[in-house]
Amino acid sequence: MSALFSPLALRGVTLANRIVVSPMCQYSADEGAATDWHLIHLGQMALSGAGLLCLEATAVEPAGRISPHDLGLWDDRTEAALARVLTAVRAYSRMPVAVQLGHAGRKASSNVPWKGGALLPPEAGGWHPFAPSAVPHKESEPPPQALDAEGLARVRTAFVSAARRAARLGIDAIELHGAHGYLLHQFLSPLANRRTDAYGGSLENRMRFPLEVFDAVRAAFPDDRPVGMRISATDWVEGGWDLDQSIVFARALKAHGADFIDVSSGGVSPLQKITLGAGYQVPFAAAVKAATGMPTVAVGLITQPALAERIVATGEADMVALARGLLYDPRWPWHAAAELGASVEAAPQYWRCQPSGNRQLFGETLTGAR
């Protein structure tokens, strides 16, 4: 039996297999509201045969968007727009749905990637970003506004409000975005956090705000639904956040009731030096899992089914998440199941597409067809 296609339970949510549709920013929202593009994109992903669909980074307040076109979940309008999309998707897919709640911090107010991704000033449709400290992401950029006590409280409350909206939408799980140089990662990394109060300096202090946000979200979300966090295991910069600190933080998350940890890397500094290769971040996930025993997600250039199978079978991680690979091949889980001798759930409208002579790939058998 394929390990990749074995089920996994997280609190009251059971995944049919260990393949996760990773959060993928689409930069296609209308003032935070999901559009028909999200219906098309998420519809494809929900029919992919993966075990879990995680919505893209979803801003908890307008100032927390990466770009003016980011998805959001901060008011009745954005909630209603996402409800429309989810209702349509769920009509044809039983795949559990998670949402990645985040705040871009000093990386907010950026242009969309296909227009260069540079910081947008207010006169060009941007805004003044907030961050742990008045330290810009790039030296050429103006410094962000450091969050004061009132700002910290506002952001915590925004995460809680978004979590409650997610619960009302029937979303099955929440992943907090603590990676890729966004706000919660900025608090963790000494490269971005230069505070001298209780939220800066020591590792314990730098972990304080992300843990406060986690606790607040966990308390606001139903007990039978999992809450986890994505982290960057290393900044890939000397003197920055690293794997040893990540393990300390992961142990703290586990003690606070986290159900899983999604292990990525980088994003907090343009000075990062990353060595790329197939599965290049898997050792980070394996180290975190070995140190904590937490259910762990591995990400990063996992493109071959045999590699994904090995990661799960050897216990390096409990799940694998794909992003670009699924954009290129939205039926990747089907093809992986065929290669690994497993079966996958598919919509009955597609049952007839199985190549003639293959073993039963889909979990259901089409009978009585003419």
Please, which residues have CB within 8 angstroms of residue 142's CB and are 6 or more apart in sequence?
A: 119, 136
Please, which residues have CB within 8 angstroms of residue 171's CB and are 6 or more apart in sequence?
A: 55, 86, 97, 98, 99, 225
Examine the pLDDT at 77 and tell me if it is beyond 60: yes
For residues 172 and 308, give the distance between their C-alpha atoms in angstroms, rounded to a whole number.
24
287-319 confidence digits (pLDDT tens):
999 999 999 999 999 999 999 999 999 999 999
For residues 31 and 297, give the distance between their C-alpha atoms in angstroms, rounded to a whole number.
31
| pLDDT classification of 354: cutoffs 50, 70, 90 | confident
Token couple for 4:
């990749």
| pLDDT classification of 125: cutoffs 50, 70, 90 | very high
Name residue 119's beta-bridge partners. 110
In this predicted structure, what is the pLDDT of residue 367?
39
Instruction: Map out the domains of the chain with their CATH numbers.
Output: 8-353 (3.20.20.70)
| pLDDT classification of 357: cutoffs 50, 70, 90 | low
- 258-279 as b/e: b if 16+ CB within 10 A: bbbbbbbbbbbbeebeeeeeeb
In this predicted structure, what is the pLDDT of residue 352?
87
Q: State the average pLDDT for the chain.
A: 95
- Secondary structure element (H or E) that encloses residue 244, with its range: helix 243-255
Q: Residues for the chain: how many in total?
A: 370
239-282 confidence digits (pLDDT tens):
999 999 999 999 999 999 999 999 999 999 999 999 899 999 99
> What CA dihedral angle connects 15, 20, 23 and 24, to 10 degrees?
-140
Cα separations in angstroms, 134 against 156, 181, 270, 277, 366: 19, 15, 17, 34, 61
Range with the poorest average pLDDT among 156-160, 178-182, 350-354: 350-354
Token couple for 180:
């890729």
Q: What is the pTM of this model?
A: 0.95
8-59 confidence digits (pLDDT tens):
999 999 999 999 999 999 999 999 999 999 999 999 999 999 999 999 999 9
| pLDDT classification of 368: cutoffs 50, 70, 90 | very low
Task: Tell which phi-psi region holds residue 264, choosing left (phi > 0), alpha (psi between -120 and 50) or beta.
Answer: beta
For residues 41 and 57, give the distance between their C-alpha atoms in angstroms, rounded to a whole number.
14
- Other residues' Cβ atoms within 10 Å of the Cβ of residue 339: 13
What is the DSSP track for 98-142? EEEEE--GGG-SB--GGGT-PBPPGGGT----EESSS--SSTTSP
Q: Is 199 a catalytic residue?
A: no
> Contact 183/146 with Cβ under 8 angstroms?
no
Q: Which of 182, 199, 280, 328 is catalytic?
A: 182
CA–chain centroid gap for 55, Å, is: 7
In this predicted structure, what is the pLDDT of residue 369?
37
